[in-house]
């Protein structure tokens, strides 16, 4: 895991410029640094290294190809690089390896096979920049599902790129303004989806894409370069739906177990200490179980616990760790610990990011870094195998709702809104001892509010968008903001699927997973110089998951059936079966309590008017309602607060 940065067409080259850009992302690579530029200073690239494979100088970057044509800076891991080395050796017996790094393997593949063939051959997480001296061409590329970040864009006639926005901002030509349209997307989703960023003219390279930029003196030609897809999840989804797995359920379980075991084995390759996050849920437990089954040592596992009731999953994780025999470390944190992270969030995430689970994710990463340099996580299981509650809602709620007469929907919505979310929460808490297990919902008040909102919707696309929205009309909140089109809002861009549930899963994988979950894990972990790996997102497993029928994912009102069957081979069912809980914090009560003064300062009417990004009235109304306890607007408000906190740091 590393950090990369660079620029093209700098007016007056200075080595200190590329150094300054890389210094901003030194946390991504604290072990070494390296820089290279063309003789005329037109192109410069830099690298910060976190040594994982081949800790020697042979893995130093920027790396030059043996033929002298290419220069590479690379962030990530190529998990099948040893197999690729064997393949290359069979094709070129005279190939001389300088070391054992996957960077050298990647560069050799690019030299021997070219860009397209290499991108199809490699398995891993990556973002890289490749300079071709012969063609005077810069290539930027990003992994299939978006595990590793890459920003790029033009400021005037200067092209800037880097692993994080703070690297681009360190260049003297950076002059991008806040993109108010992107800000509307933050309010709707709690993140800014690719290709947008918080700055005008600066974009995220979309997962599964590359862009070739000619650098031959014609800036107009360079600016005309557009990203190209080399891998498409929509294509994978539609291909999987057409070519269904035809085996028995038990054969499907065995196949998934074998594929997951292989992916875990590949991703356990490391020359530094390695461990795993363990929340006690299905996904992380499955990854840890497969790790421990293949390890001769006790796997190091890490869990964060919260003292507040209803937000603590640490006890479940401890039981699973005890059963699997891992070397388990847990840390209980209180509100003060979590509050201490908040001032670091604007710098950590570079652009406003509203998923409040960023806080425990950072804390567990910080703890893990004290013991290991690499941690595996279970992310991806929900999107691939149907784990989110909204997929079950599509079956249990949307199906019946769309058949109800309009007046019945209106009455139902009014009834649900008769109680505030806080009152629903208290009611469910009171009734919990007598409720059946499956009726013991987490955050019932929030779910009641969302159900009320969807009762008047007309189609499945609108149902999904409603479930994944915070502010329903964010353009009315952002001054001079206009909400741009995204994958979610453009239903014609959705893949053809056999069900709404599968369509929702495909959208989640391309939006929420790529732009929220993976961003959260990458930034929070890299802020502590910890590398994270996600075995579930091996693209071969992604493709296998989409060949599986829906009934292998959602069965009897419960998600992740197939993944659960794999896990039950290693962990007793009774340790796993409980209501799904997110990796959250008691944000609603914190905003009314210990965070109230901080939030009030950021949401004051005078400040909102002076800064001119938000219309004060809707924000203030929501803030007052939240403080009263009548409504729980924690997520809506957190999106605004994260922008306000970010703006303060600019």
pLDDT digits (tens, 9 = 90+) for 271-284: 888 999 999 999 99
Strands 202-204 and 2-8: unpaired
Is 216 exposed, middle or buried (CB count within 10 Å of its CB: 0-12, 13-18, 19+)?
exposed
Question: How far apart (Å, rounded) are the C-alpha atoms in residues 102 and 31?
Answer: 17
- The residues, ordered by sequence, that sit 6+ positions from 584 with a Cβ below 8 Å of its Cβ are 311, 356, 357, 360
Question: How far apart (Å, rounded) are the C-alpha atoms in residues 289 and 280?
Answer: 11
Q: Percent of the chain scored above 90 by pLDDT?
A: 75
Residues 647 and 556 in one domain: no
Residues 118 and 42 in one domain: yes
pLDDT digits (tens, 9 = 90+) for 229-246: 999 999 999 999 999 999
Amino acid 455: pLDDT: 81
Amino acid 155: pLDDT: 96
Amino acid 312: pLDDT: 62
Q: What is the CATH number of the domain that holds 547?
A: 3.40.50.620
* Closest C-alpha among 198, 207, 185, 205 to residue 346: 198
Residues 634 and 523 in one domain: no
Amino acid 311: pLDDT: 60
pLDDT digits (tens, 9 = 90+) for 466-508: 889 999 999 999 999 999 999 999 999 999 999 999 999 999 9
Q: What is the CATH number of the domain that holds 89?
A: 3.60.20.10
Q: Helix, strand, coil shares of the chain as percentages rounded to 5?
A: 50, 15, 35
Residues 279 and 226 in one domain: no
Amino acid 315: pLDDT: 87
Residues 160 and 299 in one domain: no
Whether pLDDT at 139 is above 90: yes
Backbone CA torsion sign across 512, 514, 517, 520: negative
* Closest C-alpha among 111, 200, 219, 100 to residue 159: 219
For residues 506-534, give the mean pLDDT: 97
- Helical ranges in 432-560 per DSSP H: 444-454, 460-467, 500-510, 512, 518-526, 539-545
For 119-147, b where at least 16 C-beta lie within 10 A, e where not — what string?
A: beebbbbbbbbbbbeeeebbbbbbbbbbb
**What are the φ/ψ torsions at residue 203 (nearest 5 degrees)?**
-130, 160
Task: Report residue 613 as tokens.
Answer: 């990004």
Greatest mean pLDDT among 50-59, 299-308, 313-322, 556-565: 556-565
Whether pLDDT at 382 is above 90: yes
SS3 153: strand
Amino acid 397: pLDDT: 81
Amino acid 495: pLDDT: 96
Residues 217 and 240 in one domain: no
Q: Determine contact, residues 65/95, Cβ cutoff 8 Å.
A: no
Residues 180 and 294 in one domain: no
Whether pLDDT at 366 is above 80: yes
Question: How far apart (Å, rounded) are the C-alpha atoms in residues 614 and 481?
Answer: 9
Is 636 exposed, middle or buried (CB count within 10 Å of its CB: 0-12, 13-18, 19+)?
buried
Q: In which element (H, E) is residue 82 found?
A: helix 81-91
Residue 280 domain flag: yes
Strands across the sheet with 374-376, in order? 327-333, 300-306, 274-277, 374-376, 531-533
Residues 207 and 280 in one domain: no
* Closest C-alpha among 10, 50, 94, 197 to residue 529: 50
State which of 528, 555, 575 marks the end of a domain. 575
Q: Percent of the chain scored above 70 by pLDDT?
A: 96
Residues 51 and 30 in one domain: yes
Residue 143 DSSP class: -
Amino acid 442: pLDDT: 67
Residue 441 domain flag: no
Residues 226 and 85 in one domain: yes
SS3 113: helix
Whether pLDDT at 581 is above 60: no
Out of 61-70, 254-263, 438-447, which region has the weakest mean confidence (pLDDT)? Answer: 438-447
Whether pLDDT at 582 is above 60: no
Residue 256 domain flag: yes
Instruction: Scan for tokens 């051959």, then name that residue.
Output: 121
Question: How far apart (Å, rounded) are the C-alpha atoms in residues 136 and 126?
Answer: 23
Residue 473 domain flag: no
Whether pLDDT at 389 is above 70: yes
* Closest C-alpha among 81, 21, 14 to residue 47: 21
R_g over Cα of the chain? 25
Amino acid 177: pLDDT: 97
Q: Determine contact, residues 444/424, Cβ cutoff 8 Å.
A: yes
Amino acid 470: pLDDT: 94
pLDDT digits (tens, 9 = 90+) for 60-98: 899 999 999 999 999 999 999 999 999 999 887 678 888
Task: Report residue 496 as tokens.
Answer: 């053809």
Is 323 exposed, middle or buried (CB count within 10 Å of its CB: 0-12, 13-18, 19+)?
middle
Out of 210-214, 311-315, 526-530, which region has the weakest mean confidence (pLDDT)? Answer: 311-315
The residue range of the domain holding 646 is: 586-650
Residues 61 and 204 in one domain: yes
State which of 192, 214, 231 marks the end of a domain. 231
Amino acid 54: pLDDT: 61
Residue 410 domain flag: no
For residues 525-533, give the mean pLDDT: 96
Neighbours of 258 (CB within 10 A): 11
Q: Determine contact, residues 158/42, Cβ cutoff 8 Å.
A: no
Question: How far apart (Å, rounded) are the C-alpha atoms in residues 119 and 109?
Answer: 9
Q: What is the dihedral of CA 11, 15, 16, 19, to 10 degrees?
A: 110
**What are the φ/ψ torsions at residue 167 (nearest 5 degrees)?**
-70, -40
Q: From the centroid of its chain, how far is CA 584?
A: 16
Question: How far apart (Å, rounded) are the C-alpha atoms in residues 52 and 29?
Answer: 10
Cis, peptide link before residue 62, omega less than 30° from 0? yes
State which of 520, 542, 575 marks the end of a domain. 575
pLDDT digits (tens, 9 = 90+) for 603-642: 999 999 999 999 999 999 999 999 998 889 999 999 999 9
Question: How far apart (Å, rounded) are the C-alpha atoms in residues 304 and 307?
Answer: 10
Question: Pick the residue with more confidence: 481 or 55?
Answer: 481
Q: Determine contact, residues 420/606, Cβ cutoff 8 Å.
A: no
Strand partners, 499: none
Residues 66 and 209 in one domain: yes
**What are the φ/ψ torsions at residue 499 (nearest 5 degrees)?**
-160, 160
pLDDT digits (tens, 9 = 90+) for 169-181: 999 999 999 999 9
- How many helices (H) does the chain have, and how many strands (E)? 31, 17
Whether pLDDT at 583 is above 70: no
Q: Please tell me the total count of domains within the chain.
A: 3
4 to 42, 130, 166, 198, 521: CA distances (angstroms): 17, 11, 12, 20, 18
Is 405 exposed, middle or buried (CB count within 10 Å of its CB: 0-12, 13-18, 19+)?
exposed
Residue 418 domain flag: no
């Amino acid at each position: 895991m590393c950090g990369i940065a660079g620029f093209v067409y700098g007016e007056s080259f200075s080595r200190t410029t590329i150094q300054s850009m890389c210094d901003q992302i030194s946390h991504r690579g604290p072990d070494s640094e390296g820089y290279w530029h063309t003789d005329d200073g037109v192109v410069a690239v830099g690298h910060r290294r976190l040594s994982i494979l081949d800790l020697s100088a042979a893995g130093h970057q920027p790396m030059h190809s043996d033929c002298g044509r290419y220069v590479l800076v690379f962030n990530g891991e190529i998990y099948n690089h040893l197999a690729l080395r064997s393949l290359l050796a069979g094709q070129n017996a005279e190939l001389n390896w300088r070391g054992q790094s996957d960077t050298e393997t990647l560069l050799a593949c690019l030299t021997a096979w070219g860009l397209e063939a290499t991108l199809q051959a490699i398995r891993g997480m990556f973002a890289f920049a490749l300079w071709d001296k012969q063609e005077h061409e810069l290539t930027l590329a990003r992994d299939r599902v978006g595990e590793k970040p890459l920003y790029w864009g033009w400021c005037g006639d200067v092209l800037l790129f880097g692993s994080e926005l703070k690297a681009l901002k360190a260049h003297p030509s950076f002059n991008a303004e806040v993109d108010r349209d992107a800000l509307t997307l933050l309010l709707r989703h709690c993140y800014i989806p690719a290709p947008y960023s918080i700055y005008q003219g600066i974009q995220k390279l979309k997962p599964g894409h590359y862009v070739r930029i000619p650098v031959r003196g014609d800036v107009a030609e360079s600016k005309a370069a557009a990203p190209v897809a080399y891998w498409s999840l929509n294509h994978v989804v539609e291909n999987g739906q057409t070519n269904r797995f035809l085996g028995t359920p038990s054969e499907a379980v065995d196949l998934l177990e074998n594929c997951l075991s292989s992916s875990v084995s590949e991703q356990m390759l490391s020359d530094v200490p390695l461990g795993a996050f363990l929340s006690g849920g299905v996904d992380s437990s499955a990854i840890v179980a497969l790790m421990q089954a293949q390890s001769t040592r006790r796997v190091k596992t890490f869990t964060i616990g919260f003292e507040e009731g209803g937000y603590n999953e640490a006890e479940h994780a401890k039981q699973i760790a005890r059963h699997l025999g891992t070397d388990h470390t847990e840390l209980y944190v209180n509100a003060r610990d979590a509050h201490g992270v908040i001032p670091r969030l604007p710098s950590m995430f570079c652009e406003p990011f509203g998923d409040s689970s960023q806080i425990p994710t950072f804390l567990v990463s910080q703890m893990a870094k004290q013991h290991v340099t690499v941690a595996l996580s279970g992310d991806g299981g929900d999107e691939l195998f149907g784990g989110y509650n909204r997929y079950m809602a599509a079956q249990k709620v949307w199906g019946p709702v769309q058949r109800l007469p309009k007046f019945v929907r209106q009455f139902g919505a009014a009834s649900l809104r008769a109680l505030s979310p806080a009152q629903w929460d208290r009611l469910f808490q009171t009734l919990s001892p007598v409720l059946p297990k499956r009726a013991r919902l987490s955050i019932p008040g929030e779910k009641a509010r969302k159900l009320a909102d969807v009762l008047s919707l007309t189609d499945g696309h609108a149902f999904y968008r409603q479930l994944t929205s915070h502010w329903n009309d964010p353009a009315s909140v952002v001054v001079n903001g206009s909400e741009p089109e995204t994958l979610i809002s453009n239903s014609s861009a959705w893949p053809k699927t056999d069900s709404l549930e599968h369509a929702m899963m495909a959208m989640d994988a391309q939006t929420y997973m790529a732009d929220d979950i993976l961003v959260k894990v990458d930034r929070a972990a890299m802020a502590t110089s910890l590398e994270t790996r996600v075995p579930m997102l091996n693209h071969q497993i992604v493709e296998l998951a989409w060949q599986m029928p829906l009934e292998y994912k959602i069965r009897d009102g419960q998600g992740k059936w197939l993944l659960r069957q794999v896990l039950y081979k290693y962990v007793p069912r009774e340790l796993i079966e409980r209501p799904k809980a997110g990796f959250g914090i008691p944000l609603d009560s914190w905003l009314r309590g210990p965070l109230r003064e901080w939030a009030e300062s950021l949401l004051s009417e005078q400040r909102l008017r002076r800064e001119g990004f938000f219309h004060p009235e809707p924000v203030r109304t929501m803030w007052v309602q939240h403080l009263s306890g009548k409504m729980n607007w924690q997520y809506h408000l957190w999106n605004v607060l994260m922008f306000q906190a970010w703006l303060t740091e600019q």
